[in-house]
Amino acid sequence: MKTLALVAAIFLPFQFHCAAGTTNAADLRQLVQQYLPGCTLKPDGAAQPRTLVSASGETLDLLAAARENAEPRKVTGYWFTPNMAFLSRRRIEVDAGATNGAAGVVQLLHAISRGTNFVKQNSYRAFPVEGGWLVEVDRNPTNQPALPAMPPYELLSDDGRHIVQIRERSFPYSGSPRVYGNTVRSVYEREMKVNGGANYQATVEKELAKAWETEKPQPPAKPAAAPKK
């Protein structure tokens, strides 16, 4: 089971992404119509959405989807769910210049897996990164008591428009997929050889903090003072 204590929120306060788009729309039917135009929601006996059916006939049981827990796979540093895989196979199209679109895809994922109330309570911010988009979820948009930070989601694209993979990072990090992936993998391989990974979590958090200091956008330099006459 995923541990939210992984979250040293030292990376998320550094929000310099001026190209980010923020949104918190939450209606499941609206999100399906917008991002999955080839899919339909089939109701149960009480007229509530029960099954999501793709144009090819693949189905997603919404009750089962709500009980899923993200789990690691072969790719170190990421969490995956069948919900993410189902949406990834749809090759959702996102306007390359509209970051709100990428944020809406993660809202759709959360509306399916966590419910629309969860979506309404949070704010979603997306910004372009190499190979796709990164989507961060602000769990305290109205200054409620602090909640553990959520690691961001990567939405990977093969052509700059269609999403081919959705995955959640295991650790909070606001930088590029390349730097995040390389850092996590190198620490994992090193720590597993040293002591079976006993210090893996603490070490990877420290290494990611160092990587972010190098990668994060730097504030503009102050103009030089005019020479005295």
In a domain, 80, yes or no: yes
In a domain, 59, yes or no: yes
What confidence tens digit (pLDDT) does each residue in 98-151 have? 678 899 999 999 999 999 989 988 899 999 998 999 999 988 766 566 677 789
pTM over 0.85? The answer is no
In a domain, 15, yes or no: yes
Residues of the chain with pLDDT under 70: 1-26, 46, 96-98, 141-146, 220-229
- Structural domain range at position 107: 4-215
Tally the C-alpha atoms within 13 A of residue 157's C-alpha that lie toward its C-beta.
19
In a domain, 229, yes or no: no
- Beta-bridged to residue 22, according to DSSP, are 125
Cβ atoms of 69 and 63 within 8 Å: the answer is no
How many structural domains is the chain composed of? 1
Helix (H, G, I), strand (E, B) or coil at 135: strand
Looking at residue 144, its pLDDT comes to: 62
In a domain, 225, yes or no: no
Tokens of 71: 């789990």
Looking at residue 175, its pLDDT comes to: 92
Helix (H, G, I), strand (E, B) or coil at 166: strand
